[in-house]
């Protein structure tokens, strides 16, 4: 079974969400006919409707307005290839020059042009407005865990994951030239950087002040000439803002790894000649064993899961159901994010998602991309 096409389509009706259609060969219905799987980015998912009869491939009625909209769906996006060295590629990121996120972007695309943004949302919008070709954002850290807000942004926006970067951060203690450690009264940095270098700060007996970004903290100390303040940031930030490195590798865990995602407007072509990873998000009906059933579609095909994350749905966080014992009960409606080690060009992955779509109430492929095996 081979991947036939990957397409991103938009409903002309503004009230309907965007949908991503993934059409596979080899997946068949119970009657033996080939089946097309449409993975939805919005509220509609399931077999495609016949434009003339208004019937789906399963024989169910489909709303007439939806059938009319199907006629005018735009053509699939073109899948393009970007040079690996990042030549002429603009990458947006949250933070100031010298941040660890910018370091991660330069690791993946050494010759790229980076575009600093004040917020993660702005980094997404820079790509959507064609101000940048790609965006990079942290998604999880080996000591701090998942960055939940960025999972919400992945669902809110329509960018595709096209790569990942595993980055080992080297935290440095910085200060103005001529300032010694014993002169410091406070240390400024991002909350995660401060938490990850707790031992050194405790030994110094300094106060801690949260700043939105490590490089912004370095810029603030340098521009204001704060002689009693230190910074936890990168060595490159020290070079950019003219600070001295008082101590190197001050992180509590020497293997402090942050995983970043690279996003683009268009997906990349999945391949099988190198390790690929696929990220999806889906929802399920309430019921015993439903999540176990969902995860089993991967285990049955010996597909390794590398990440499972759940997030309450923002628009309908609580679901009220009837319970024969206690009357009416309230449950959270959850989104499940999963990363698995398989390319969408792999028949195992195609069959797994075809199986999952049979009982998932919503399913979206966030991206299929090469794994970063550089660590």
Instruction: Give the active site residues.
Output: 258, 260
Torsion of CA 158, 161, 165, 170, to 10 degrees: 10
User: What are 20's strand-pairing partners?
Assistant: 8, 39
CA geometry: angle at 295 spanning 289 and 297, to 5°?
110
CA quadruple 246, 251, 256, 260: dihedral sign: negative
Largest alpha-carbon pair distance within the chain?
A: 79
Closest C-alpha to 349, from 13, 10, 39: 39
Q: What are the Cα distances from residue 55, in Å, to 67, 96, 264?
A: 9, 53, 35
Cα separation, 233 vs 197, whole angstroms = 11
- As a whole number of angstroms, the distance between CA 178 and CA 165 comes to 36
Q: Which residue has the tokens 């997404």?
A: 124
What is the distance in angstroms between the CA of the first residue and the CA of the last residue of the chain?
Answer: 33
If DSSP codes are grouped into helix, strand and coil, which group holds residue 197?
A: coil
Please state, in angstroms and rounded to a whole number, the distance separating the CA atoms of residues 329 and 318.
Answer: 10
Query: How far apart are alpha carbons 5 and 77 in whole angstroms?
Result: 10
């Amino acid at each position: 079974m081979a991947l036939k096409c990957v397409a991103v389509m938009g409903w002309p009706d503004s009230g309907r969400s965007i949908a991503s259609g993934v059409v596979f060969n080899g997946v068949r219905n119970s009657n033996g006919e080939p089946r097309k799987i449409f993975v939805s980015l919005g509220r509609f998912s399931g077999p495609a409707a016949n434009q003339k009869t208004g019937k789906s491939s399963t024989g169910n009625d489909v709303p007439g307005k939806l059938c009319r909209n199907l006629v005018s769906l735009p053509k699939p996006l073109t899948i393009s290839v970007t040079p690996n060295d990042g030549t002429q590629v603009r990458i947006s990121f949250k933070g100031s020059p010298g941040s660890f996120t910018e370091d991660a972007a330069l690791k993946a695309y050494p010759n790229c042009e980076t575009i600093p943004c004040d917020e993660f949302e702005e980094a997404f919008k820079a790509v959507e407005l064609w101000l940048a070709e790609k965006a990079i954002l942290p998604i999880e850290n080996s000591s701090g865990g998942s960055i939940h807000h960025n999972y919400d942004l992945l669902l809110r926006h329509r960018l595709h994951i096209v790569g990942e970067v595993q980055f080992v951060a080297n935290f440095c203690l910085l200060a103005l030239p001529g300032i010694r450690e014993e002169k410091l009264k406070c240390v400024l940095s991002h909350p995660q950087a401060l938490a990850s270098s707790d031992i050194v700060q405790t030994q110094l007996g300094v106060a801690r002040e949260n700043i939105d970004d490590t490089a912004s903290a370095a810029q603030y100390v340098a521009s204001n000439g704060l002689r009693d303040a230190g910074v936890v940031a990168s060595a490159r930030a020290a070079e950019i803002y003219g600070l001295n490195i008082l101590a190197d590798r001050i992180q509590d865990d020497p293997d402090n790894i942050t995983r970043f995602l690279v996003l683009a407007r268009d997906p990349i072509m999945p391949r099988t000649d190198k390790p690929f990873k696929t990220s999806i998000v889906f929802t399920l009906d309430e019921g015993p064993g439903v999540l176990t059933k969902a995860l089993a579609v991967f285990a049955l095909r010996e597909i390794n899961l590398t990440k499972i994350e759940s997030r309450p749905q923002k628009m309908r966080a609580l679901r009220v159901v009837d319970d024969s014992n206690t009357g009416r009960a309230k449950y959270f409606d959850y989104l499940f994010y999963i990363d698995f080690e398989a390319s969408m060009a792999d028949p195992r992955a195609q069959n797994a998602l075809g199986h999952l779509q049979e009982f998932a109430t919503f399913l979206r492929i966030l991206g299929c991309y090469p794994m970063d095996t550089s660590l």
